[in-house]
Chains A and B, each alone.
Chain A
Amino acid sequence: MSQKILAKDKVDAFLQGLCRDQDLFAPVMKDGKVGWGPVATAAEALWEFSNTEMSPKDFFFPQTECMMRFKNVQGDPQGMIMQAEAPLSRPRVLLNIRPCDAKAFQVLDLIFVQDEMTNDLYWRDKREKTALIGLACNDPCPTCFCTTVGSNPHGETGLDVLLVDLGDHFLAKALTEKGEALVKDLPAAAAGDEGQAAELKKAAEAKIKGGVAMDKVNAREVMELYDAPLWDRVMESCLNCGTCTFCCPTCHCFDIQDETQGEAGRRVRNWDYCMSWLFTMHGTGHNPRGTKKDRVRQRFMHKFKYIPVKRGGEIGCVGCGRCVQLCPVNIDVRKVVNDMNA
């Protein structure tokens, strides 16, 4: 794959090219918060930021998503009519996505698209039509711990192009065929660029202090971790709100409902969360995760034990640190995992 240069004064022209046939989105400053929004010029997008407050997972897995519509007109000889939702009409580019978030989508691919039977067409359609141009982190936050969960501030996993800010220009590394096509018109990188990027990568990795250790978590049996006494303390302050799961780039639970209004209806899926009592409530009245402790434990066990066991060692966390920053009661995932590993 090729290594190209994107000069800073050529970014606008590059983005114009991208916008021609695609919708372009990037982190922007909105009401004092860093979030995702449509952009057309370099000035609209952010180039120096830690990360967006919420993850970009809603580009592929919207919080509310209509799956199909139906109509049931009394006496209509056609009977009930079901209509598929239109697929994404225009391809998209997510610019300046952080490597941790791109990695998260690859983890989610393992869950949404497993085999012929488990093949979420809503997720897949948007994934296939979206290109990811990452922006390497040269300055990770104190809450970042990507390097300890298999990701990296300059990570390439899941990206089509990785941009590395070298000061006066970006190194643009094409990582897939899709990425190659996006950067094909850019000039080739100079001799020293790759070396400079490697130095920045090393410096960024060194800035990540702390994190999680997983060796004993990996070695222990599921039930040993499940029955560990630590959950009694972890759950104490937990509010059982959805903040950690909703800001998380890898949390992906949902609830599907049919909504009807007269003769019309739609099937809709909404984000749901393991902290919710209702999420596991059975029609019988039995709730297999009936206590706060059960629900708190589920989140950490799912990410750090169940997913690794079922998905070939892949961890269900990319170390973005959003939940550490946003949890209203400061339940720090790093501390929880280190307690699991103690």
Chain B
Amino acid sequence: MSQKILTLAGIIITASILPVTSAQAAGECATGKTLEEGVLTIATGNPAYFPWVIDNEPAGGKGFEAAVAYAVAAQMGFEAEKVEWTSSSFDQAIQPGQKNFDFNLQQFSITEDREKIVDFSIPYYTSALAVIVRQPTIDAGVQPTLESLKSLTWGADANTTATPVIQELIAPESDPLLYDDTINVIEAMNANQIDATLLDLPVALYQAGAVMNDGVVLGQFAADESTSPDHFGLLMEEGNPIKACVDAALTALIDSGELAQIEAQWLQQATDVPMIR
């Protein structure tokens, strides 16, 4: 009996000590490497969009990227109240000089060229790219095949890696039109100026389902099949020593399956979107 109690007590003690020690160890990793001691400053876009951040309030922890940010912070040993949010545009994220964040997440695709200017963590998400069109285009007989996609007029967000993918993978007959953001791309589609665009699958599902009147996700390029898979990474200042801690935290989240859980919770799983051949 007494031994049982002892064992039980031992389990409780180890159970309560373990997370504390691992968190402390991780917390130590970031010591002296954050902008403000003891606080982790994270940046995202303003506005930040569904399903990455819900209601443009990253501090609410709702939405895929907000949840990932808090999970990484916790893994690094920062409690939720020690996380500060700030906003940054893409351009602010890549400008030379002092950054106002420890890391920045807003669906930054990791590319070799960008790596020369900033640092990226290991990927926290790999997105399939999806083709979105309007019902009239479907009625006109477009198919989810590369051949069929070539004859469409394409549009894309100029600030994303969708542009080279359209040009290299689909190689449409006419040059794509480019816009400042996804909202403008959708607007151009509504104005019948473009037929199709390429979006990250979760965004495509949201746009077609909740924003457009007659939007349809025509098909997807599998994340691993695509010639340029869209790996999202946390962006950090070039040479920021915190990268090692962030990578370690992400690795732990991937190994424990927590990252997959967050993904399942916030990103709609598309089972019925056909693959484009």
Is chain B found bound to chain A in the same assembly?
A: no
Q: Which residues of A contact B (CB under 8 A)?
A: none
Q: Which residues of B contact A (CB under 8 A)?
A: none
